[in-house]
Structure 1
Amino acid sequence: MRAARTLRFRGAAVAAPLLVALSAAVPAAADSVKLPAVRSALGADESCVAASGEQAGGLPWALAALGHARSLTLSQGAGVTVAVVDTGVSTTAAGLSGRVTALGGAGEDCVGHGTFAAGLIAAAGAADGGPAGLAPQAEILAVRGTDERGNTSAARVAQGIREAADAGASVIYVGVALAEGKAELTNAVGYASREDALVVAPLAPDTLPKDRATGDLVAAEPWYWPAAAPGVLAVTDYGPDGGRPDNAPVVSGADLAAPGDSVVGLGPRGKGHFIGSGASLAAAHTAGAAALVRARHPEMSAAEVSRQLTEAAYPAAPPRLDPYAALTAVLAENAGAVPRPARAVVPAAVSEEPRRRALVVAAVGAGVLLLVAALAVVVPRGRARGWRPAG
């Protein structure tokens, strides 16, 4: 666990906020327990998710824990495109209308997970509160990372990451975690990194599959992809009480933790809300925070944005996402994060010859002055005595 530290901010030195206490003090909306749960996949015989008839009022606990209102005074993600590689993003979803560009058929979302994640990233929110995204002015690029039912593969996700990078996304959110596909997904992430796109992905699946023979949950893998690939910002989740559900996959190696349990968001149809839990939703919040930083600091590279988010995070194990600190912290290690003073230039050594000449001239001048002074005394006295020697 990192030691507590004070971060240097522009204008003052302040301690990072205690996100654990804040999240525990702000419960989820009282009516959120009535909301239908968002899912990551549907069965072959299931129809597309229906519109929710329930709405959650008030400020969601996740936004309060992340200091959403303070962050918006500094950045709202304007000019940044966040790709959502998931089940698709509905182009008509409440809070996202007019800001979703879809590749292929990704503008329709039968499952609802991609739209839910996109809402956590960039939904405008409603005047009476309710779910909103961290970067409400960011643009969303919908990229198909699964089939219409939510089934996926490493090849499909890798293709989605490449398509997002080619389309100019500066932040690429991936909504799945796969136990296989190391080579394909690592190569795809490397391609995105060369295009200066930051890939954000869940550390592990939201839920583990069950063994068909025993019905028991399958043990978690040591790592999942693309989260384990170099250059990816791997994110795990926590809930309103600061902890994680008992049945959540336990995997080490997260770069950040963010609100992901009992999270309220929007659906692909209607104005109703859904509720969900898992690392994929924590990754969506982190992608929104990355959009805020990229909008405020366009000179930063994808790698520098990743460092800004992790180094400015609240010190814990793993560090907890703090968007406001990431927007204001000045990290000396981040080249380009703030203007640097001009490099000091030491002048070349001055030649000693002019100095020596000056000393010689001064010595000669002093000797001449002494001689003149002596003559001024001796000559008059000699004349007065007729140049006769003394007594």
Structure 2
Amino acid sequence: MKRNILVPRGSQSTGTPRQRRPHTCASRLTAVAPVLGAALVLVPPTVAVADSAPVGTAPAASSNQIRLPLMPSSLTSASTACTKPSKVHVDAEPWAQQSLGLGRVGRYTTGSGITVGVVDTGVAPGAERLAGRVEATGGAAEDCVGHGTFVAGLIAASPSPGGGLSGVAPGARIVAERGTGQVGTAGAAAVAQGIRAAVQDGATVVDVSAALPARTQELTAALAFAADHDALVVAPAVPDGTVQGNGAGGSAAAADYWPAAADGVLSVLDVDINGARAQDAYVPLHADLAAPGSGITGIGPAGSGLYVGNGPSLAAAFVAGAAALVRAHLPELTAPQVAARLKGTAAPAAVPLLDPYNALSAVLPTTRPAPGGSSTAVHLAAPAEESGSARRAVLLGAGCALLALLVGAGAALARVHRSRRAVGEGLRRRTT
């Protein structure tokens, strides 16, 4: 059973569930805001980059704003034109990468040698910053929506020469699999086939962008196949978008979504730059980790320009990238151990906040003894329990010190006495 329940006890079946906010996340993310060169601000249908403005608020018109086109999760219909290339460039490091401390993880690994499966709308093999590291065949090599390429970039995009945007694991390879139709609508059968195909193609981390309302036998079998091949599946705890789909303040009962709700799958929730979520966002019953998922800067399937996107599917991409780093740095860990490490090193909060650097650098306790060592764990006694022995040790030490002092003083007095006697004998000889 998953932990980190997001709704209070008793609110799951009746009434409107209240969502817990990760306040510790909020304090951590808010601390990042003052040092950002630019913060992303959602202004539908585009995004403005403005100084120190929180995500989700509409800023006043300003001459220093940069507008990024919005990356959709899906298209409205088959007749809708594909996502157009962006012509906008941003040199500053996005807030999400800063908050995750990605600038420090490269000293350990870049994820080289790890293959990450992306089950989404496809990934463009020629996408800038991913070229040469994407394996995609058939429909997975065509990304009309652009969302799959955006997600793949969050996982593994190479950094630009001047800094700025970078994927979590820029040394990792991507294997793209379709989990949706042409317009980006996900289906259980397609997702299940995508998971299975990604694992067969060598992925040891599989990122799934879909959050489906029901579990199917096909999906269960695909997840079992991934587990049997030691592949870690990462998925959003809830769907992208809002309950009403229009930001009108709708609400819905907390619920499980698949594959995130399945045992062994790492479920991820999104937070914004303030560590909060929209009031009309979907609410899960459980989530393992939280990661940035609002006002996220990323690449597209064509051109060198950038986009902005929102949703827990993007938060899941950050976690999948972190999992690739851990698998590269600690290859002896199994998929469940990688998941446990990511959760165990996360920042404390109602939903623990992903910390890639800590996941790579922390020394975690283990329940197993070291090879060849004693099977009995070493326990330090509590101060109250050792007070008696401590007093005896202090008294013994003081006694020894006093004895040494007396012996030393006696020896000194003996030397002085011998010296004086020698002087007296000399004087008597002279007078006689």
TM-score, with normalisation over the residues of structure 2?
Answer: 0.71
Do structure 1's residue 285 and structure 2's residue 294 form an aligned pair?
no
Distance 1:211 1:125, change over 3 A: closer
Deviation at 1:210, TM superposition (A): 4.2
Residue type at the aligned position of 2:132: G
Deviation at 1:266, TM superposition (A): 0.3
Deviation at 1:131, TM superposition (A): 2.0
| 8 Å CA contact retained: 2:251, 2:282 | no
Please name the residue that 1:230 is paired with. 263
Please name the residue that 2:92 is paired with. 58
Do structure 1's residue 113 and structure 2's residue 143 form an aligned pair?
no
Deviation at 1:22, TM superposition (A): 3.7
Do structure 1's residue 344 and structure 2's residue 374 form an aligned pair?
yes
Deviation at 1:216, TM superposition (A): 8.3
Deviation at 1:181, TM superposition (A): 2.7
Distance 1:345 1:333, change over 3 A: closer
Residues 166-200 of structure 1: CA deviation (Å, up to 9, x unaligned): 11100000011010234432322121011000000
Instruction: Classify the secondary structure of the residue corresponding to 1:159.
Output: helix
Distance 1:246 1:198, change over 3 A: same
Instruction: Classify the secondary structure of the residue corresponding to 2:270.
Output: strand
Do structure 1's residue 82 and structure 2's residue 82 form an aligned pair?
no
Instruction: Classify the secondary structure of the residue corresponding to 1:236.
Output: strand
Which ranges in structure 1 are unaligned for 5 or more consecutive residues? 3-15, 347-391
Residues 67-110 of structure 1: CA deviation (Å, up to 9, x unaligned): 10111111100000000000000001110000000143211110
Please name the residue that 1:239 is paired with. 272
> After the TM superposition, which of the residue ranges 60-69 and 203-212 deviates more from structure 2?
203-212
Do structure 1's residue 19 and structure 2's residue 28 form an aligned pair?
yes
Instruction: Classify the secondary structure of the residue corresponding to 2:313.
Output: helix
CA distance in 2, matches of 1:317, 1:345: 35
Deviation at 1:130, TM superposition (A): 2.9
> After the TM superposition, which of the residue ranges 226-235 and 123-132 deviates more from structure 2?
123-132
Residue type at the aligned position of 1:271: S
CA distance in 1, matches of 2:353, 2:333: 21
CA distance in 1, matches of 2:112, 2:144: 28
Please name the residue that 1:262 is paired with. 295
CA distance in 1, matches of 2:194, 2:81: 25
CA distance in 2, matches of 1:69, 1:271: 22
Deviation at 1:24, TM superposition (A): 3.7
Distance 1:334 1:106, change over 3 A: farther
Residue 356 of structure 2 is aligned with which of 304, 317, 323? 323
RMSD of the alignment, in Å? 2.6
Deviation at 1:245, TM superposition (A): 2.4
Residue 239 of structure 2 is aligned with which of 205, 217, 220? 205
CA distance in 1, matches of 2:272, 2:203: 29
| 8 Å CA contact retained: 1:23, 1:64 | yes
Residues 14-61 of structure 1: CA deviation (Å, up to 9, x unaligned): xx9x73344444452536861111111112210111101112220100
Equivalent residue pairs, number: 328
Please name the residue that 2:252 is paired with. 219
Do structure 1's residue 38 and structure 2's residue 47 form an aligned pair?
no
Residues 240-297 of structure 1: CA deviation (Å, up to 9, x unaligned): 1221223321223110000111000000010111001110000000000000000000
Instruction: Classify the secondary structure of the residue corresponding to 2:39.
Output: coil
Do structure 1's residue 28 and structure 2's residue 39 form an aligned pair?
yes
Residues 331-370 of structure 1: CA deviation (Å, up to 9, x unaligned): 22376xxx93423389xxxxxxxxxxxxxxxxxxxxxxxx
CA distance in 1, matches of 2:249, 2:351: 28
Which ranges in structure 2 are unaligned for 5 or more consecutive residues? 5-24, 41-48, 51-64, 377-432
Instruction: Classify the secondary structure of the residue corresponding to 2:360.
Output: helix
| 8 Å CA contact retained: 1:304, 1:334 | no
Residue type at the aligned position of 2:346: A
Q: What aligned pairs does 1:92-241 form with structure 2 within 5 A after superposition?
A: 92-208=126-242, 210=244, 217=250, 219=252, 222-241=255-274
Please name the residue that 1:251 is paired with. 284
Please name the residue that 2:430 is paired with. none
TM-score, with normalisation over the residues of structure 1?
Answer: 0.78
Deviation at 1:135, TM superposition (A): 0.3
Q: Over alpha carbons, which structure has the higher Rg?
A: 1
Residue type at the aligned position of 1:156: A
CA distance in 2, matches of 1:254, 1:345: 35
Instruction: Classify the secondary structure of the residue corresponding to 1:34.
Output: strand
Residues 289-347 of structure 1: CA deviation (Å, up to 9, x unaligned): 00000000011000000000000000111000000000011222376xxx93423389x
Instruction: Classify the secondary structure of the residue corresponding to 2:128.
Output: coil
